[in-house]
Chains A and B, each alone.
Chain A
Amino acid sequence: MSKNIFRISPGFEDIMPDEYKELVESGPYGKDLGVSDMGTFKELLEEHPLCAGCGLALSLRLILASLPNPEDTVIVGSTGCSALAFPQVAVHNIHSLFGNQNAVASGLKRALKLRFPDKVKDVVVIAGDGATADIGLDMVMQSWFRSESITTIMLDNEAYANTGGQESGMTQQGAVMNMAPKGKNFPKISLPEIAREAGCSYVASISPAQPKRLEKMVRRAILTAREVGPSYVQIFSPCPTNYKFKPQETVSRIKQHQKEGHYQTKEYINTAAQEYLASIEEGKKNE
């Protein structure tokens, strides 16, 4: 089944850029694509403005390729570097006020449930660490307490990158940044643990250095949010520009952090989510 949700308005076919025409022709809708199909379909328009070697851009591409149901997904973003790429995404998306993303997503999910009671509609928040763990933490945690059926994905570059490099709650203790010249005084917030305590049924922490695992976790998180309860995925996505390392070192930096124990791949699934995921994953195997 193919769904053409992106169409060019009649009469504008000639003047639209080729990249956009391609997006309409080879978008991800209704094709059951995944990370291993990357390069054969378009999840994003070319020439997005994120820096060379940006970990967020890498994570964003992988997330977009992992969506189980892109045609019926709405992404809610927040101000920050990742938001710069959202106008180029081939999935419906909303840009919310900085920090408000989980409140907007909660309302949207409820409205979609009322408007389309028989349809699966996924609402996925994708925002930076400042928007998720600092300024938006209130909205994020309240959405988990209320058990809203949404997935929250944090692109953790351990900084407020878009505003020139302030420390965030997710910055490692001692890290010196452009606008934190004395080094950060406090340890990194353990948001996966907070998410678990606040009522998330599925919690994972991962990086783009493990694309297949990332795909599995994003899918599991979205499926859990559909049927069981809120889910949270934290993706470690280093920023070469603010942390001043070479763009080609993004992935090696992730591996180094993992080795040193600053970042770990983790997954927590509560019993209800485990049962649900086991039933669909088993069903897939038998197909």
Chain B
Amino acid sequence: MYVAARVDNDKCSGCKVCIFTCPDPNVIKLNKEAKIVAINEARCKGCGLCVVACPKKALNVSS
């Protein structure tokens, strides 16, 4: 089943590692004020590379 990545806002530190690791542009964006990332779920292919890269374990792709 296709599942888009989700962010746990409490864990995200806004470090942007997931943005550098996503193979698609503009799926993950940084919300500069809140210092957390936001995922465009409609565009995410659910590959999970960001999940593995995130140092804070703030992302997941399982439902």
Listed by A's residue number, 12 A-B pairs whose Cβ atoms lie within 8 Å are A22-B26, A36-B16, A42-B25, A45-B25, A47-B43, A52-B45, A53-B23, A53-B49, A58-B23, A247-B47, A249-B52, A251-B52
- Establish whether residues B53 and A247, one from each chain, have CB atoms under 8 Å apart when the complex forms: no
Chain A residues within 8 Å of B51, by CB: 248
Within 8-48 of A, Cβ neighbours of B (below 8 Å) are at 22, 35-36, 38-40, 42-48
- Establish whether residues B21 and A58, one from each chain, have CB atoms under 8 Å apart when the complex forms: yes
A contact set with B: CB distance below 8 Å: 22, 35-36, 38-40, 42-48, 50-55, 57-58, 61-62, 208, 211, 240, 246-252
Q: Answer whether A61 and B23 are a contact pair too, CB < 8 Å, given A38-B16, A247-B49, A251-B53.
A: yes
Cα(A208)–Cα(B19), bound, Å:
13
Chain A residues within 8 Å of B47, by CB: 52-53, 240, 247-248, 250
- Establish whether residues B30 and A40, one from each chain, have CB atoms under 8 Å apart when the complex forms: yes
How far does the Cβ of A220 sit from chain B's closest Cβ, in whole Å? 19
- Residues of B contacting A: mostly: loop
Contact with A along B43-63 (1 / 0, CB 8 A): 101111101110000000100
- Establish whether residues B28 and A39, one from each chain, have CB atoms under 8 Å apart when the complex forms: yes
Q: How many A-B residue pairs have CB under 8 A?
A: 75
- Establish whether residues A46 and B43, one from each chain, have CB atoms under 8 Å apart when the complex forms: yes
Partner of A44, one of B21, B25, B48: B25
Cα(A94)–Cα(B29), bound, Å:
29
Chain B residues within 8 Å of A45, by CB: 25
B8 within 8 Å of A (CB atoms): no
How far does the Cβ of A152 sit from chain B's closest Cβ, in whole Å? 22
Cα(A211)–Cα(B49), bound, Å:
14
Within 3-47 of B, Cβ neighbours of A (below 8 Å) are at 16, 19-30, 43, 45-47
Which of A38, A45, A62, A246 counts the most B-chain CB atoms under 10 A from its CB?
A38
Chain A residues within 8 Å of B61, by CB: 248
Cα(A246)–Cα(B20), bound, Å:
19
Chain A residues within 8 Å of B20, by CB: 35, 38, 62, 211
- Establish whether residues A53 and B48, one from each chain, have CB atoms under 8 Å apart when the complex forms: yes
Chain A residues within 8 Å of B45, by CB: 51-53, 247
Other than the given A35-B20, A53-B47, A248-B52, 17 more pairs (CB < 8 A) read: A22-B26, A39-B16, A45-B25, A46-B25, A47-B43, A48-B24, A52-B23, A54-B23, A58-B23, A58-B49, A61-B23, A61-B24, A61-B25, A211-B20, A248-B49, A249-B52, A250-B49
In this complex, what residue of B is CB-closest to A237?
A: B23
4 smallest CB-CB distances across A and B, nearest first, come from A248-B48, A57-B23, A53-B47, A247-B47
